[in-house]
Amino acid sequence: MRTLIIVDAQKDFMPGGALEVPEGDKIIPVINRIIPEFDLVVATQDWHPASHKSFAVNHPGKKEFEVIDLNGLEQKLWPPHCVQGTPGAEFHPDLNMDPVEAIFRKGMEEGIDSYSGFFDNGHKKSTGLAGYLKDKNAQDLYFCGLAADICVNFTLLDALKEGFKATLIEDAAMPLDAQNYGQVQEHIKKIGGRIISSEEL
């Protein structure tokens, strides 16, 4: 079953949002166009409490984008984003959510970040996404969303570790850090992931 996973296509990651991905909104028409190509569509949603420890404001004296040790894991400190119940946590208003069968929320645990849609960053707690997909007999996964080099990347890497086929749809994802995105793509291909354009579907 060919499955599309839309990662964190939320307002705070769009231009003008709290943690904007440059030109992040350009992926929305692409995603809407390719949705009919898939048998199953699911989405992930960053859903942080305001007290989340990945937010720089919750560490007095620390600055945004500084790297700290958080409970034994390296943690980049972000501006507050995708806070539960706020407009910034909502999906982009133009994204066609009607075909989305399930939404998997992540980043809800105050003391640990969750880039991947499958697990938190310490791989301590599952979101249930892997079990859901296996129950649906969905093995062929395609990824899009934001940010391509962070949450999309980590979700795709975990999909490969869980034994799924994983493909990044390049023009349906946009990176936060364009300079290092090439290295991210090379790593995806090196460990068995594929990268295609939407035209190749």
Q: Is 144 a catalytic residue?
A: no
Residues 56-111 pLDDT 10s: 999 999 999 999 999 999 999 999 999 999 999 999 999 999 999 999 999 999 99
- Phi, psi for residue 101 in degrees, rounded to 5: -80, -30
Q: What is the pLDDT of residue 78?
A: 97
CB–CB of 120/149 below 8 Å? Answer: no
Q: What is the pLDDT of residue 45?
A: 98
- pLDDT band of residue 28 (cuts 50, 70, 90) is very high
Task: Specify the pTM.
Answer: 0.97
Annotated catalytic residue, options 25, 53, 106, 144: 106
Q: What is the pLDDT of residue 34?
A: 98
Q: Which 8-state DSSP code applies to residue 158?
A: H
Annotated catalytic residue, options 8, 12, 113, 158: 8
Q: Is 8 a catalytic residue?
A: yes
Domains in the chain (CATH in brackets) are: 2-50+80-200 (3.40.50.850)
Residues 130-175 pLDDT 10s: 999 999 999 999 999 999 999 999 999 999 999 999 999 999 999 9
- Tokens describing residue 171: 């023009």
DSSP H or E run through 140: strand 140-146
Q: What is the pLDDT of residue 165?
A: 98
Mean predicted confidence (pLDDT) in 179-193:
96
Mean predicted confidence (pLDDT) in 164-188:
97
- The residues, any chain, with a CB within 8 Å of residue 140's CB and separated by 6 or more, are 1, 2, 3, 164, 165, 167
The neighbouring-strand residues paired with 73 are 70
Mean predicted confidence (pLDDT) in 121-138:
97
Q: Which residues of 28-45 are buried (b: 16+ CB within 10 A; e: fewer)?
A: bebbeebbeebebbbbbb
- pLDDT band of residue 127 (cuts 50, 70, 90) is very high
Q: What is the pLDDT of residue 5?
A: 98
Annotated catalytic residue, options 12, 82, 151, 158: 151
Q: What is the pLDDT of residue 179?
A: 94
